[in-house]
Amino acid sequence: MTAAAPLNEVPHAPGQLTLPAPTGRYHVGTVDLHLRDASRRDPWVPGQQRELMVSLWYPATHTSRYPAALLPSSQQVLPGGVTLPTTAGHTGAPVDHRAGKLPVVLYSPGLHGSRGQATALVQDLASRGYLVVTLDHTHDSSDVVFPGGRHEVNTMPPGSPSSHTIAIRAADTHFVINQLAEIARGHNPDAEHKPLPHGLSRAVSTKQIGMFGSSLGGGAVPAAMHADSRIRAGANLDGQLFGSEIDKPLNRPFLLFSSEHHNRNSDGSWARFWNHLHGERLDLKLRGSGHNSFVDNQILFPQAPGAFGLAPPQLPQILGTIDPNRSIEIQRTYLAAFFDKHLRHGHHHLLDGPSRHYPEVDFVR
């Protein structure tokens, strides 16, 4: 697959943007589900029932018989005729039974972000044998497309407290986990009863659940873990923390993974949270990275800055100076090591301390 251009180069004819290929042993399948929560009204639009769109990513077989999935975005073509990447996922492909029971990892995006914004990380975890569930938080996400072409856009009032937004995301996550349990029992929770991929119900492991998020999505992970004890391990990719959960004891493993200029030495919310972590706790810093390094912007912006309204000199301010492909490789490696350890009972020396193979990662002690 075509590599991203170095930060100081702009492709002459970028055409279709690309994401790095997954590194795991399995091919990847994906399916979008439309879920309705009969027990909740929408917190942002009075009178509406709470509805969510989620995507499931998983190890798949016979993928050549199923179409490659686009990113879940309402705008596939950007200015200048640049098109968003085709993912490594194949829509509706059967689950690869050789992967056995699949640990579940949930993903929550940044504020107003979409469930597709960390696809480089998500599809890699799926290729390593995980069922990854990405959430759009309706009316917080800037635009969610539902079946039939219905769009639901951001309706959050200006100045909405981040603690309130995070509480809503925690409730969304709890509901989605309940729907996964329904799938594991052989039911189909999709509102339109879209056929589920063959083998999915037998593959879901609701006893091994983790969660990660980027920016505000990472900030929502502690609240989700307090709201649902089934989440056994959590990871926050460079997200500030809000709400009372910062000061509540949490006895499950947690990974804080920060950009170059953000960690618990500079973020009081991280420092307070750190003091209340009583399971395994890790505070890692990725040298040379920026806040946008923890989403697909890291790899997409350098390929065609103009399509995103950026000039090349702006990129280091947004993405840092780390090589984009190296940044994604490191994040994939450490996320997989963390979830492998805590959802699969493996041990990775990578998490014990600094590695000569990844000198860009600092362990903040």
| Res. 9: pLDDT tops 50 | no
Sketch out the chain's domains with CATH numbers. Answer: 27-363 (3.40.50.1820)
| Residue that is written with structure tokens 């686009």 in the block | 70
- The closest of 202, 207, 205, 247 to 223, measured between CA atoms, is 247
Q: Provide the 3-class DSSP secondary structure of residue 293.
A: helix
Q: What is the pLDDT of residues 71-105, one digit of tens each?
A: 988 789 999 999 999 999 999 999 999 999 999 99
Contact indicator for 292, 322 with CB cutoff of 8 Å: no
* Residue % of the chain over a pLDDT of 70: 96
The pTM (predicted TM-score) of the whole model is 0.94
Q: What is the pLDDT of residues 141-172, one digit of tens each?
A: 999 999 999 999 999 999 999 999 999 999 99
Instruction: State residue 75's pLDDT score.
Output: 85
| Mean pLDDT in residue range 16-28 | 97
- Residue 242 CA to residue 230 CA, distance in Å, equals 21
Q: What is the pLDDT of residues 246-294, one digit of tens each?
A: 999 999 999 999 999 998 999 999 999 999 999 999 999 999 999 999 9
Residue 95 token pair: 């689950």
Instruction: State residue 244's pLDDT score.
Output: 93
- Residue 113 CA to residue 239 CA, distance in Å, equals 13
